[in-house]
Chain A
Amino acid sequence: MSIIYVLIPIAMLFVLIAVAIFFWAVKSEQFDDLDRQSVSILFDEKEPKSPINKSDLPNKTE
């Protein structure tokens, strides 16, 4: 039974880490837009293939 004197402090350490991560997540605004983050993984970061050439893109403002 005396093993709990070791295991419980280790468990407490884990909780401390979890709380620290939670605080970091809240402070870095990860809880501000819950609608978005849940699906953001679906969007490809790379430019998707499109039938239009990149040079035709009109979104460069000179």
Chain B
Amino acid sequence: MTSCFHCNEPVVTGDQFTTIINGQAQPMCCPGCQAVSQAIIDAGLTSYYQFRSEPGQRQSALVPEQLSHYSAYDLPEVQQDFVHKQGDIDTTSLSIDGITCAACAWLIEHKLKPVNGVTNVLVNSTTQRAMVSWDNHIIKLSEILQLISQIGYQAAPYQVDEQEKQSKADSRKFLLRLGLAGFATMQVMMFALALYTGYFTDLDVEFRDYFRWVSLIFAAPVVLYSAQPFYFSALRSLLSGKLNMDVSVSIAIGGAFIASCVATIQGTGEVYFESVSMFTFFLLLGRYFEQTARQKASVSSSNLHKLIPLTAHLFNDGETTEIAAKRLRIGDIILVKPGEVIAADAIIVSGKSSINEAMLTGEQMPIIKQVNDTVYAGTINVEQPLQLNVIALGQDQLVAEIIRLQEFASNNKPAIALIADRLARYFSATILSIALLTYIVWSFISPDDAFWVTLSVLVATCPCALALATPTAVTCATAIFTRLGIITRKAGVFEKLTQINHVVFDKTGTLTCGHLSIGDVIVDTHHTKQQVLALAAAIEQGSLHPIAQAFTPYYNNQYLVTDVDHHIGEGISAKIDGQLIKIGKRDFVTTTPLAAAPQNSQVIYLSINNELVAQIELLDQLRDDSKRTVDALAQNNIALSIASGDNSGHVEYLAQKLGIADVHSGLSPQGKLSLINQLQQTKQVAMFGDGINDAPVLAGANLSVAMGSGSAIAKNSADLILLGDHLSRFNDAITVAKQAQHIIHQNLLWAFAYNVIILPLAVTGHVAPYIAAIGMSVSSLIVVSNSLRLLRIKL
């Protein structure tokens, strides 16, 4: 089978779509890819195809609605949240979906640069973001977003994660400290080597002192600048009355440096400049790994948190104006068209329509609402325009209630003590008391040596390997997670993953795809399945009802549809070639009696001239890998439950199909949370979810997993995010986490073994500076290379 030249997916449509690239017709899988590749060629950016190292993203057909909603980004009150204005030039940072390699960054820059009005574009392919500046008199932001979407990328402003703001500055500072420590350590080591020769051959005192002074100059910036984070952390922990690793680290660095300076000035004793520098370098390396992993996670989660401007059409004296939702006042009358998100909690003043509340309740089918019914912010109007009277804003809305519940749950989340932190506390205490003991004992034996021996104990037992043990393994494991399409948002997930023994799934959008698709189709003898589906698709075209979406793949433009009439909660009627076609509920389409409908699923009927022609089963299908995931989890002795907001029999049906015995349906967000809390009494619970209604329970679970396609609020409270919505990756994640745990234990064991060997030598005064330096670097290297073994893991 040929594969699409743009996205590499198999082409199933024959040679229906092609683009001429460099004089050759290349196959395309869909109109989306064809349009995108044509736009790329037309812009003269053919080199993209030459230099890209990854295939492009598959293009879903461009929906006109999506294009029109960009215009909301031009409203001044929406822009003030993310656009930086300087004179006529506006600047903003956009998160861009679909960047797969460096060629994408090049492509976007070169598409935008020649555009009149765009003054600067800078695309970062690592963070998948673009910094764009434009002249607001010549071009609008919505036009820029549209230009980017023409070549197949979806750009949107994003909400910067609180964590990210901080970690970006931190990361750069860490890199500076690390780099400086690296440069200086190399130099100090070089002179240290010369000094070591003094142990074996004679080195003139003159040169010895000279080398010591040079080492001092190089080591000083390391100790005074690079090592700062350790001092602050040590101070913080001492002030809160605790001991951490940084306390013994700071004492060792500070003590060794001051003692070495004294030795240099007086020309006596030993110098430990190389140990101090190397020590700082290795420790910083560990911290830097931790920091980058953390930053990557916060960047990805910010990118997922797209700023979608909530706007409303304010109705005033027969005229409507589009305004930002935050400018609404209680009592305002707003107009909500089909397909639009309702901007505030409100009461219907006129109109009747069905409302999709899936995100709030998990209930999949839209609910019919009419005059005097309450509708909630964040839900979607499906069928008819509605006029609403705003009754609640901001903190008083139902969504805010759920967010409060989420905050409450996350504050009461069971804490996990990380093994490395626990060890560090005991380790520091032990080392400090041994050092003290050594000093006391030696001051009786030989008061002159007491200080130097104590110093060598502190330097030799430096927790380098210990400090690198966890971060290196976690960095490698995070890299594998990224490769698998899993974003780790919080620290400690690796440890938690290995302890999970109960997994609770949400149903809609988690175990299932979250949208309806066509199941069995029963047709009468005069029609074929294809005919019926094409007819249905033609009629449903233009409807925003979830049922209509199921027919989209079957749409072709062979039928001319007229007189389309939406009957809320009933179905749709329309005319094709003079024939009356109805699709919808049984009583709506025909009066002819019919065999019983299959249970546990939805069935809709299609009639031509009131003559029943077909019954079409609609299913919210299980994800391809749901069964596999559930089976694998069960095999690992992990208990399973379903907690769904859906009240229909569909939940039971799916549970049976998957073999999950413990089923809870019709749960409110509060209900889900108390279910989890109950389970947590005895178990470590992981929760899967995607909707706003799952947010509190995700925040409360020991470990929470959100789907990449889920709502921003759900993703915000999750520890892990599964991009591409592959459930089975969770099993891989557990495997990786177990392996990582294994490696961490090995590393810690080795770090301890090293200390156990070196400690007696140091206490008895047998560790010369060069032995400390060698021991430190060898043990650190062993730990790092052991962690790197993780990258070779086979899944």
Contacts and interface: CB of A to CB of B under 8 A. Distances in A.
Interface of A: 1, 4-5, 8, 11-12, 15, 18-19, 22-23, 26-27, 31-36, 38-40, 42-44, 47-48, 50-52, 54, 56-62
Interface in B26-84: 39, 41-47, 51, 53
Interface string B166-184: 0000001001100110011
B115 A43 contact: no
Contacts of A27: 172
B210 A4 contact: yes
A27 to B, nearest CB: 8
Interface centre among B39, B43, B101, B102 (most CB of A within 10 A): B102
B102 A40 contact: yes
Contact of A52 (B41, B147, B217): B41
Contact of B51 (A5, A38, A43): A43
A40 to B, nearest CB: 7
Contacts of B187: 11-12, 15
Contact of A36 (B22, B43, B47, B102): B102
Given A50-B41, A61-B115, A61-B147, 7 more contacts: A26-B175, A32-B126, A33-B124, A40-B102, A43-B47, A43-B106, A51-B20
Contact of A1 (B101, B124, B207): B207
B179 A50 contact: no
Contacts, number: 104
A33 B114 contact: no
A18 B147 CA distance: 42
B206 to A, nearest CB: 9
Given A12-B217, A36-B125, A61-B143, A19 B42 contact: no
B125 A35 contact: yes
Contacts of B305: none
Given A33-B124, A36-B105, A40-B102, A8 B175 contact: no
A59 B114 contact: yes
Interface residues of B, number: 44
Contact of B124 (A23, A32, A39, A56): A32
B477 to A, nearest CB: 20
Contacts of B147: 59, 61
B23 interface: yes
A41 to B, nearest CB: 11
B176 A23 contact: yes
Interface of B: 20, 22-23, 39, 41-47, 51, 53, 101-103, 105-106, 111, 114-117, 123-127, 139, 143, 147, 172, 175-176, 179-180, 183-184, 187, 207, 210, 214, 217-218
B102 A22 contact: no
Contact of A60 (B23, B47, B116): B116
Given A26-B172, A40-B102, A60 B115 contact: yes
Nearest to B194: A4
B102 A26 contact: no
A26 B179 contact: yes
A33 B116 CA distance: 27
Contact of A48 (B47, B180, B217): B47
Interface centre among A27, A43, A54 (most CB of B within 10 A): A43
Contacts of B103: 39, 43
B180 A19 contact: yes
B437 to A, nearest CB: 40
A41 B243 CA distance: 50
Contacts of A12: 187, 214, 217-218
Contacts of A52: 41-42, 44
A33 B296 CA distance: 12
Contacts of B46: 48, 50
Contacts of B44: 47-48, 50, 52, 54, 57
Contacts of A35: 101-102, 125-126
Contacts of A19: 179-180, 183
Contacts of B41: 50, 52
Contacts of B126: 32-36
Given A12-B217, A36-B126, A59 B43 contact: yes
Contacts of A31: 172, 175
Contacts of B217: 12
Ranked nearest first, the 8 interchain pairs of A and B with the lowest CB-CB distance are: A33-B124, A50-B44, A39-B102, A36-B125, A33-B126, A36-B102, A48-B47, A43-B106
A23 B181 CA distance: 12
8 contacts: A33-B125, A33-B126, A38-B102, A48-B44, A52-B44, A57-B43, A59-B43, A59-B114
Contacts of A58: 39, 42-43
A26 B183 CA distance: 14
A59 B47 CA distance: 17
A26 B105 contact: no
Nearest to A8: B214
Contacts of B180: 19, 22-23
Contact of B179 (A11, A22, A34, A44): A22
Contact of A59 (B51, B115, B172): B115
Given A32-B126, A48-B46, A54-B44, A60 B183 contact: no
Nearest to B207: A1
A39 B47 CA distance: 13
A10 B624 CA distance: 66
A56 B42 contact: yes
A12 B176 CA distance: 19
Contacts of B53: 39
Nearest to B221: A19
A23 B172 CA distance: 10
A13 to B, nearest CB: 12
A51 B20 CA distance: 10
A38 B125 CA distance: 12
A55 to B, nearest CB: 11
A56 B318 CA distance: 44
Contacts of A42: 51
Given A33-B126, A40-B102, A52-B41, A18 B183 contact: yes
A18 to B, nearest CB: 6
Contacts of B172: 26-27, 31
B360 to A, nearest CB: 39
A16 to B, nearest CB: 9
A59 to B, nearest CB: 5
Contacts of B51: 39, 42-43
B125 A26 contact: no
Nearest to B123: A36
Contacts of A61: 115-117, 139, 143, 147
A56 B127 CA distance: 33
Contacts of A23: 176, 179-180
Contacts of A56: 42
Nearest to A9: B214
A4 to B, nearest CB: 7
Nearest to B204: A1
Contacts of A57: 42-44, 114
A18 B111 CA distance: 37
Nearest to B117: A61
